[in-house]
Amino acid sequence: MTRSLDTTPKPEALATPSLVAVDRAIAELRRGGLVLVGHAEGAALMMAAEAVSDESLAQLAAAAGSPTLLALTGRRAGVLGLGDTESGVFRVSSGHGFDGETIAWLADPGARSLPMPVFSGLDARRAGGLDEACVALAKLARLLPAAVLALVVSAAPEAVRVEAAQITGYQENAARSLRQVSAARVPLENAENARIVAFRPSDGGIEHLAIVIGDPDPDQPVLARLHSECFTGDLLGSLRCDCGDQLRGAIAEIAQTGSGVLLYLAQEGRGIGLVNKLRAYELQDSGFDTLDANLQLGFDDDERIYLPAAQMLRLLGISRVRLLTNNPLKVDALARHGIEVTERVPHVFPSNDHNQGYLRTKATRSGHLF
């Protein structure tokens, strides 16, 4: 069988340089480097808050020619008592810049065991698009949602450069640029007639997978499951969540029905990444529920987007689905992105001693229908 590679012209090719610019900036941030973010308000040199040291902070301030500032989500600012909002981004300044320990204390709830620094003269105010872009870039890099920045006052220093608009448009552009790059037959334990189809954005960023079972009829609503990646539950059988049961249960149910598709979406930890999910687990062990742990870290309770899922369904020729889920947000999101959900099919599995609280929180606070 020939591989069904998509060879049609790519109208989104123009978007690729901006995707690549963001991709480079992500790599730079993740290895503790400096990134120059351009915006109509001016440019800032930034680094990820979780990557700073006293030396790198001094280097950042010297290269930009101004003191370091800290950009935090409104969520995190609220937790610290520095802001009174649940949205947006706050800029925190001390007048003379920050040291590494203060940044750690402000940005990372896990750093609280450090001796608490004295916070005198901190000023926090709602920030504009420049700081928002810096925080968004840290999130795209799957790091803590906090950025240290310094405004560039004279000549732009040498650094990887990205524009704020490229950062804010990244997720949508990446989703729209998804293309099928491979498809292979992979017989599964509970679904022998399965194929795995891989989709890649044009910058070579994170790939998403579709597990196509049987031969779905595109003229009928297709039984579908949007499954967000969960390394701990899917692979290790973690009992903290219900993901492993839901993954294997969906594959078995689709196979029993005859055909359908499971989209395996690379948005681990409700979109915050595996490392941040582990940080959230640590917070849950000290008493926060699954949603509040996200908020303590400075994230929204759910950071996922479903445009990639809608795009993959379209590329598979599917426009109507019967959706296996308990989460009404998934139904709404697919509809918003042009996929008709003809029916919500409940997808509930028995709880265990470790995930009862997690499932209860989903029902009482996230609107999951159990």
Ligand X SMILES: Nc1nc2c(ncn2[C@@H]2O[C@H](COP(=O)(O)OP(=O)(O)OP(=O)(O)O)[C@@H](O)[C@H]2O)c(=O)[nH]1
Based on the shown chain and the rule CB under 6 A, indicate whether residue 248 belongs to the binding site for ligand X.
Answer: no
As to burial, measured by CB atoms within 10 angstroms (0-12 exposed, 13-18 middle, 19+ buried), residue 215 is exposed
Residue 134 labelled as part of a binding site: no
Q: At residue 219, what are phi and psi to the nearest 5 degrees?
A: -85, -10
| 355 touches ligand X (CB under 6 A) | no
**What mask of x and - would describe binding to ligand X in positions 155 to 184, judged by CB under 6 A?**
------------------------------
Among 243, 297, 331, 333, binds Zn ion (CB under 5 A): 243
Q: Which of 148, 212, 241, 334 binds ligand X (CB under 6 A)?
A: 241
Q: Are 43 and 154 in contact (CB under 8 A)?
A: no
Binding mask 181-220 for ligand X (x = CB under 6 A): ----------------------------------------
DSSP string, 214-282: S---TTSPEEEEEEE--IIIIIT--SSSSHHHHHHHHHHHHHHHS-EEEEEES-HHHHT-HHHHHHHHH
Find the part of the chain contacting Zn ion (CB under 5 A) among 78-86, 116-124, 146-154, 234-242.
234-242
Q: Which is nearer to Zn ion, 180 or 238 (CB)?
A: 238
Q: According to the binding rule CB under 6 A, does residue 73 interact with ligand X?
A: no
302 classed as catalytic? yes
142 is catalytic: no
3-class state of residue 320 by DSSP: strand
Which residue lies nearer to Zn ion by CB, 119 or 231?
Answer: 231
Cβ-based burial of 315 (10 A; exposed 0-12, middle 13-18, buried ≥19): middle
Q: How far is the CB of 161 from ligand X (least distance, A)?
A: 31
Q: How many CB atoms lie within 10 A of CB 32?
A: 13
**Amino acid present at 14:** L
State whether residue 173 is helix, strand or coil: helix
x/- map, 254-273, ligand X, by CB under 6 A? --------------xxx-x-
Residue 211 touches Zn ion, criterion: CB under 5 A = no
Interior/surface letters 118-127, b for 16+ CB within 10 angstroms, e for the rest: eeeeeebeeb
230 is in an annotated binding site: yes
Residue 256 labeled ligand binder: no
Q: Please, which residue, 105 or 299, has the CB nearer to ligand X?
A: 299
> Cα–Cα distance between 355 and 101 in angstroms, integer?
35
Q: How many residues bind Zn ion (CB under 5 A)?
A: 4
User: Applying CB under 5 A, does 272 fall inside the site for Zn ion?
Assistant: no
| Marked catalytic residue, from 24, 248, 302, 344 | 302
In eight-state DSSP terms, residue 75 is H
Q: 82-121: which residues touch ligand X (CB under 6 A)?
A: none
Q: Does 38 bind ligand X (CB under 6 A)?
A: no
Is 294 near ligand X (CB under 6 A)?
yes
Identity of the residue, 39 or 270, whose beta carbon is nearer to Zn ion in the bound complex: 270
- 233 touches Zn ion (CB under 5 A): yes
Closest CA to 313 of 341, 347, 271: 341
Residue 136 or 241 having the CB closest to Zn ion: 241
Q: Which amino acid is at 17?
A: P
| 3-state secondary structure at position 74 | helix
Give the angle subtended at the CA of 185 by the CAs of 264 and 327, to the nearest 5°.
Answer: 20
Binding residues for GTP: 225-229, 246, 268-270, 290, 325, 330
Instruction: Please identify every residue annotated as catalytic.
Output: 302, 304
Query: Where is the binding site for Zn(2+), in residues?
Result: 230, 241, 243
